[in-house]
Amino acid sequence: MSMPLFAPTKGFSLSALTSALLLLSCSTLAAELPESHFQTKPVGYGLYELAFDGENNTLFAASTPSFAKGKNTGIVYRVNPATLATDANIQTQRRAFATALDEQRHLLYIGNTVDGSVTVIDTQTGKELATIQLDESVKEDQFTPTREMVLDKKNQRLYVSGTAKKGVLWVIDTANRKKIATLSNMGEYPTGMALDSERGRLYCVNGGGELITLDTASHKILKRVVVEPAKKHFFLNISLDSKTGRAFITDPDLPKVLVVDVNSGKILHQIDVINSLAVLFNPARNEIYISHREAKRISIVDSNSYQVKNSITTTALPNSLALSADGNTLFASIKQSKEEMEKKQDYLIKINLGGL
C-alpha cells in the first residue's frame, strides 16, 4: 500500500478507465469548476503539507525537493496567502513533509518522514531550534518512518504516527522538546489522527481499517473498532467534527468517504465520492473538503446533507489541504505526476469559498 501524501513516486493501483467510471458516481448536483477559475501559483518542487498561521497571516508549505542520494534537505516556503507569492524560503537540514503549527508560541513542527524525526522551527526567525529523534532503530529493516502529526496546544503535546507493520504512536513534550512516550499496539500502519482536546481524546486510523480511541491523559487505548469488517480498508486520513462526534475517514483504494460515529464506531453515512486522499472539516461553513489525487479534483461537500456542492478539477495531483483562520479560504498543494515532477514545479491553489 502506497501513501502518496508522503511518497510521490508511487500512485494508487487504479486504472485510468476505473477513475473515469468512478467520476460518474459524483453527485449530478455538483457544480464542476476548472482550476482556471481560481488563483494558482508555482511554488517549488516536492510540496507536501500546509499550515496556515492566522496570527501572522502566513501560509507555510513543507517541501522535499529531491529524493536523490546525498540531497537530504528540505524547504519550508513562507507564502503570502493573498498573492501566493513566496516571501521566504526556510531551509531545513532534513527533508520536510508533515506540518503542525503552534501560532501563539511561534513554533512550526515539521515531520521528517524518512528520518523518523521532527524538526522545530521558530516562525519569527526561520531558524531551526531542535531536531527530535523518534525512531531509534539501529537496523534499517526495523526503521519506522513518521507520518502524520497532531498538536495539542493546550497540554503541549505533539502526537506523531509511526507507520510500520507493527505501528506506533510517539508523544512529544513540546515544552521540553523531548519524546516522552512510544505507544505500541497501534495496529498495522497507523496513519491519520484527529484530536478532541476538550474531551481529551485522540483518534487514530490505520491500514487495518481500524479507528482507535486514546485517552490523552493516560495514553491508554480506550476503544478500537474495525469500522467496516466486510471490506479490506486501508485508512489514510481523518478529520473530526468534535461537536457532533463525527469522523470523516478516507481510504485511497476505495471510493466513498466514511462518516463514522466516534463513540460507537458505526458508519453514519458514506459520502458518494471517488477514491480520496486528504479530508478536512470546516465547522465555520459546515463543509467537508476532499482531495482526489488520481482523479485530479477537489470536492466540496455539505456536512449536513453529504451532497457534493462543488467539484474543482486540477491539471495535476491535489495533495494536502489547509484553511484560512476565518474558514473562508481553502488552500491546496498540487503535485506533479511522476513523469513531470522533475520538469515542473508543484503549485498552490487558492479557493475563495464564499465566492462559489
Evaluate whether residue 10 is within a structural domain.
Answer: no
**pTM (two decimals):** 0.92
The answer to whether residue 25 scores a pLDDT higher than 50 is no
Q: How many domains does the chain have?
A: 1
Evaluate whether residue 335 is within a structural domain.
Answer: yes
Evaluate whether residue 344 is within a structural domain.
Answer: yes
Evaluate whether residue 3 is within a structural domain.
Answer: no
The answer to whether residue 10 scores a pLDDT higher than 70 is no
Instruction: Provide DSSP, 277-305.
Output: --EEEETTTTEEEEEETTTTEEEEEETTT
The answer to whether residue 3 scores a pLDDT higher than 60 is no
- Structure confidence at residue 23 (pLDDT): 44
Evaluate whether residue 324 is within a structural domain.
Answer: yes
Mean pLDDT check: name the lowest of 26-40, 47-61, 155-169, 297-311. 26-40
Evaluate whether residue 7 is within a structural domain.
Answer: no
The answer to whether residue 18 scores a pLDDT higher than 90 is no
Cell of 272: 458518494
Cell of 78: 513562507
Residues 13 and 252: their CA atoms lie apart, in Å, by: 9
The answer to whether residue 14 scores a pLDDT higher than 80 is no
Please state whether 209 falls in left (phi above 0), alpha (psi between -120 and 50) or beta.
left
Residues 15 and 257: their CA atoms lie apart, in Å, by: 20
Which band of pLDDT confidence, cut at 50, 70 and 90, is reported for residue 27?
very low
- Structure confidence at residue 12 (pLDDT): 37
Evaluate whether residue 80 is within a structural domain.
Answer: yes
Cell of 104: 501563539
Domain range for residue 255? Answer: 16-355
- Structure confidence at residue 322 (pLDDT): 99
Residues 155 and 75: their CA atoms lie apart, in Å, by: 29
Evaluate whether residue 259 is within a structural domain.
Answer: yes
* pLDDT tens sequence across 341-355: 989 999 999 999 999
Identify the bridge partners of residue 249 per DSSP, sorted by sequence position.
238, 258
Q: Averaged over 231-252, what is the pLDDT? A: 98
* pLDDT tens sequence across 166-217: 999 999 999 999 999 999 999 999 999 999 999 999 999 999 999 999 999 9
What's 25's domain CATH number? 2.130.10.10
Beta strand segments in 210-266, E: 210-215, 221-226, 237-241, 246-250, 257-261
Which residues have CB under 8 Å from 125's CB, separation 6+? none
Q: Which of 92, 111, 48 is nearest to 346 (CA)?
A: 48
Which band of pLDDT confidence, cut at 50, 70 and 90, is reported for residue 29?
low
Average predicted confidence (pLDDT) for the chain? 93
Q: Which of 202, 193, 289 is nearest to 236 (CA)?
A: 193
